[in-house]
Amino acid sequence: MLNQKQVRYCLDKMREMFPEAHCELVHSNPFELVIAVALSAQCTDALVNKVTRTLFQKYKKPEDYLAVPLEELQQDIRSIGLYRNKAKNIQKLCQMLLNDYNGKLPRDRDELTKFPGVGRKTANVVVSVAFDIPAIAVDTHVERVSKRLGICRWKDSVLQVEETLMKKVPRDEWSLTHHRLIFFGRYHCKAQNPQCQTCPLLELCREGKKRMKGKEPWIENV
């Protein structure tokens, strides 16, 4: 496990590598964000953005999603994985939003998790991005990077990863760190082909050192 000084070094390096890290889901208000994040489960942000480009022109508010038959909404998001279930959850979410919250999305994470299709990760993204409340959402990239580097333990659950990061990262850096970990995992420390040979964190990374065993990345081909 990395010590506090080593964790700080990792955070600083990721900041240097990805100074512009941000939420890549395109949205113009908190309601659109919660729909986009709900759609993004087991799906890439790029595909969600492709779908929401037209979806958000057609559906502006909760009432709009409820004004069409479920089948029509399913067709509108058909290219996204699990689209049937997601369409059902979106309509239920919109109904609940109108019935229980006067159409206004709550700013509280625990309140948000009451909505269908909104888990802890989604709620953390929404409070962090839409309402600027410090939070660390643990998606597959955040979990993979945290475990590979040794910030967390291999056996840690998603909740334990979140709790460990909250302890090891200063509170005012939670939201930015969440985005930097995602960018680091999405564009550098990829699931299949992590760029260990050019990684500035290789010396600290238990997974990277294991992968590079027998290879000598510092020797140029001559």
Active site residue ranges: 121, 139
Q: What span, in angstroms and rounded, lies between the C-alpha atoms of 55 and 14? A: 34
Q: What is the DSSP string of 3-66?
A: -HHHHHHHHHHHHHH-TT----S--SSHHHHHHHHHHTTTS-HHHHHHHHHHHHHH--SHHHHH
Do the Cβ atoms of 180 and 11 come closer than 8 Å? yes
Phi first, then psi: what are they for 133, rounded to 5°?
-100, 125
